[in-house]
Structure 1
């Protein structure tokens, strides 16, 4: 039995980079949707509601995470 160390290193490196990227995207999505709305919507206080663009960006991050997971499942099944 012979182990191809170069291929094993490539798999490790790619999986590490993709894992960090997906966790980072999910974190950006959580931060984008984590603010609670307040009665004064013009406020920039930490509890102010996020802007519509920030919320849309957060949803885009969640969509990219879901697409990456779906692609991973496709690679496993196919």
Structure 2
């Protein structure tokens, strides 16, 4: 049995990068939603923050759906 270490390292690197990107995107969404809530508590509004948060969450959902698609198909 021979292990292709280059391929294994590539899979590890891409998986790590995708995980960090997805977690970072979700974190940006939570931070933007928190900023929107804080602005609302002080009588202001931050519609761009809410739109950005929803965009981040939509991209996260799309990435998860694509991952499920890759597994199923």
Report the TM-score, using the length of structure 2 for normalisation. 0.88
Structure-2 residue corresponding to 1:54: 49
RMSD across aligned positions (CA): 1.2
Runs of at least 5 residues in structure 1 that lack an aligned partner in the other structure? 43-48
- Secondary structure of the 1:15 match is helix
In 2, the alpha carbon distance for the partners of 1:8 and 1:77 equals: 22
Q: Bigger radius of gyration, 1 or 2?
A: 1
Normalising to structure 1: TM-score of the pair?
A: 0.83
- Where structure 2 has 5 or more consecutive residues not aligned to the other structure, the ranges are none
Superposition pairs of residues 25-36 of structure 1, within 5 angstroms: 25-34=25-34, 35-36=37-38
Q: CA deviation at 1:74?
A: 0.5
* Alpha-carbon shift at residue 41 of structure 1 (Å): 1.7
User: By percentage of residues, which structure has more helix?
Assistant: 2
- Aligned partner of 2:5 in structure 1 is 5
